[in-house]
């Protein structure tokens, strides 16, 4: 039978019944790609390194896994409108699923701080997009207040159905590898996704599908690293706009995932993020957004600090949370611009130096 999305595939593990309408765009079932050249670039050529390509979801990010469930439950509960604060991907996903089922979608975004592709998605899918004079944390505070007072369903990751849907990514990794990776590196912003993956791993362990749990390795941008610093940051800064968050809603759950798994949460600089972003694209043919590349930058930093790990054959998964096409401006700012050449064979051959 053809693939029909994460609710259909993992129904037994999700809080749905026969009465839940399934609102799906066929999300999930994303590739898990071996990346041996990248492992070498990291300085850990023997690692069994995999990339989970979450940018291959229908709206180009992992948010679709949670949104299918949040939206299906919202419609089951007869909601007429959903609301979300977003650094871009949640709004793109919420807008798409809302359009599909015909509910109103309201989005608050930090003004001037979301990537072009994400903004175009929210607008194209017909969401009411309000760009506020404030950052993501301000937007989240406002949408929480609005959803407390008005009949609109909040679809940020504090909505438990978002976490339930997103945990299916752990199931996919295990179903494919036959075990959990020893380490999983992933970007951390509002901290819903690390919460969701850890929940997924724990549930599969409970069902006897794995013997060992992975170490959960979270990565924050150095200028937006409240969990690493141990205090909220009022003015977070990073080129990885998806994770430009100063006061994550699922802070405690992220710390629990880190500590229970024997993992860690560390920072990477914007320069390290861009370096990993370019290496993924040029060495593996994988174009992800900057926030996603933070996972690889975090792995590289960890390997540099831990020579035994770098020399090992451990299985490692890096979660690439969103597609590179989301943020074309950053891509073009990170590499040399195309050269202008006259439309003339000689001039072109002169440039190409083919031999
Ligand atoms: N990677 C990408 C591409 C994201 O869009 C986000 C979060 C994260 C990582 C971090 O995930 O918040 O669960 O820790 N984006 C949210 C949004 C905040 O509004 O799209 P997290």
Could you tell me if 171 and 201 are in contact, meaning their C-beta atoms sit under 8 angstroms apart? no
**Tokens read off for 238:** 């990073």
Mutate to test the pocket of ligand 1, among 54, 110, 119, 187 (most ligand atoms within 8 A of CB): 187
> What distance in angstroms lies between residue 246's CA and the mean position of ligand 1's atoms?
13
**Tokens read off for 182:** 């020893």
Listed residue (162, 277, 261) closest to 218, CA to CA: 261
- 280 vs 288: CA distance, rounded Å: 8
Given a cut of 80, is residue 256 above it in pLDDT? Answer: yes
pLDDT at residue 1 in the model: 72
Given a cut of 90, is residue 160 above it in pLDDT? Answer: yes
Helix axes 89-101, 116-124, angle to 10 degrees: 20
Given a cut of 80, is residue 145 above it in pLDDT? Answer: yes
What's the whole-number mean pLDDT along residues 3-9? 98
What is the overall mean pLDDT for the chain? 98
pLDDT, tens digit, 9 for 90 and up, residues 30-45: 999 999 999 999 999 9
pLDDT at residue 332 in the model: 95
Could you tell me if 229 and 251 are in contact, meaning their C-beta atoms sit under 8 angstroms apart? no
Q: DSSP letter at 11?
A: G
Query: What share of the chain in percent tops pLDDT 90?
Result: 99
- 20 vs 41: CA distance, rounded Å: 46
Given a cut of 90, is residue 68 above it in pLDDT? Answer: yes
Place of tokens 């180009």: 60
pLDDT, tens digit, 9 for 90 and up, residues 275-332: 999 999 999 999 999 999 999 999 999 999 999 999 999 999 999 999 999 999 999 9
What's the whole-number mean pLDDT along residues 244-260? 98
CA distances to 29, 55, 213, 317 from 52, rounded to whole Å, are 10, 9, 17, 7
Place of tokens 């060992």: 212
**Tokens read off for 193:** 């996704």
What's the whole-number mean pLDDT along residues 188-209? 98
Ligand 1 pocket, residues with Cβ under 6 angstroms: 61, 63, 86-90, 157, 187-193, 242-243, 289, 291-292, 321-322
pLDDT at residue 304 in the model: 98
pLDDT, tens digit, 9 for 90 and up, residues 114-134: 999 999 999 999 999 999 999
- 339 vs 102: CA distance, rounded Å: 46
Could you tell me if 10 and 171 are in contact, meaning their C-beta atoms sit under 8 angstroms apart? yes
Q: DSSP letter at 184?
A: E
What does the angle CA 320 – CA 73 – CA 246 come to, to the nearest 5 degrees?
45
Minimum-distance ligand 1 atom for the alpha carbon of 90: 20
- 224 vs 231: CA distance, rounded Å: 11
Strand partners, 50: 34, 317
The residue whose CA is least distant from atom 4 of ligand 1 is: 242
Element (H, E) at 331: helix 328-334
262 pLDDT tier (thresholds 50, 70, 90): very high
What's the whole-number mean pLDDT along residues 257-261? 98
What's the whole-number mean pLDDT along residues 221-225? 98
What's the whole-number mean pLDDT along residues 150-178? 98
Query: What share of the chain in percent tops pLDDT 70?
Result: 100
Mutate to test the pocket of ligand 1, among 118, 242, 249, 319 (most ligand atoms within 8 A of CB): 242
Given a cut of 90, is residue 247 above it in pLDDT? Answer: yes
Q: Which residues contact 292 (CB under 8 A, 6 or more apart)?
A: 54, 55, 187, 242, 319, 320, 321, 322
- 204 vs 174: CA distance, rounded Å: 8
Minimum-distance ligand 1 atom for the alpha carbon of 196: 13
| Model pTM score | 0.98
- 33 vs 30: CA distance, rounded Å: 9
pLDDT at residue 355 in the model: 82
Q: Which residues contact 34 (CB under 8 A, 6 or more apart)?
A: 48, 49, 50
What's the whole-number mean pLDDT along residues 241-247? 98
> What distance in angstroms lies between residue 1's CA and the mean position of ligand 1's atoms?
32
């Amino acid at each position: 039978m053809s693939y029909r999305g994460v609710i259909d595939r993992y129904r037994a593990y999700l809080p749905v019944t026969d009465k839940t309408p399934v609102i799906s765009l066929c999300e999930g079932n994303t590739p898990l790609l071996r990346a041996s050249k990248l492992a070498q670039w990291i300085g850990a050529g023997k690692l069994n390194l995999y990339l989970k390509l979450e940018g291959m979801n229908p709206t180009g990010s992992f948010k679709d896994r949670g949104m299918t469930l949040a939206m299906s439950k919202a419609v089951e509960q007869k909601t007429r409108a959903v609301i979300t604060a977003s650094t871009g991907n949640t709004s793109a996903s919420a807008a798409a699923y809302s359009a599909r089922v015909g509910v109103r979608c309201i989005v608050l975004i930090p003004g001037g701080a979301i990537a072009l592709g994400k903004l175009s998605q929210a607008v194209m899918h017909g969401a009411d997009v309000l760009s506020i004079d404030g950052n993501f944390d301000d937007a989240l505070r406002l949408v929480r207040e609005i959803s407390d007072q008005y009949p609109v369903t909040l679809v940020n990751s504090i909505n438990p159905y978002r976490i339930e849907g997103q945990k299916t990514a752990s199931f996919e990794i295990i179903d494919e590898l036959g075990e959990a990776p020893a380490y999983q590196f992933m970007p951390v912003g509002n901290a819903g996704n690390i919460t969701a993956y850890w929940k997924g791993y724990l549930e599969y362990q409970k069902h006897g599908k794995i013997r060992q749990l992975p170490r959960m390795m979270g990565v924050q941008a150095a200028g937006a690293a409240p969990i690493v610093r141990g205090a909220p940051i009022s003015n977070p800064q990073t080129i990885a706009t998806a994770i430009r968050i100063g006061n994550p809603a699922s802070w405690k759950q992220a710390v629990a995932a880190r500590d229970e798994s024997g993992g860690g949460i560390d920072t990477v600089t914007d320069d390290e993020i861009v370096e990993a972003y370019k290496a993924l694209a040029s060495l593996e043919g994988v174009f992800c957004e900057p926030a996603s590349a933070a996972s690889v930058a975090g792995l590289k930093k960890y390997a540099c600090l831990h020579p035994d790990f770098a020399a090992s054959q451990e299985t490692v998964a890096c979660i690439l949370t969103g597609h590179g096409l989301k943020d074309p401006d950053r891509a073009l700012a990170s590499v040399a611009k195309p050269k202008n050449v006259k439309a003339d064979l000689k001039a072109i051959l002169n440039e190409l130096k083919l031999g």
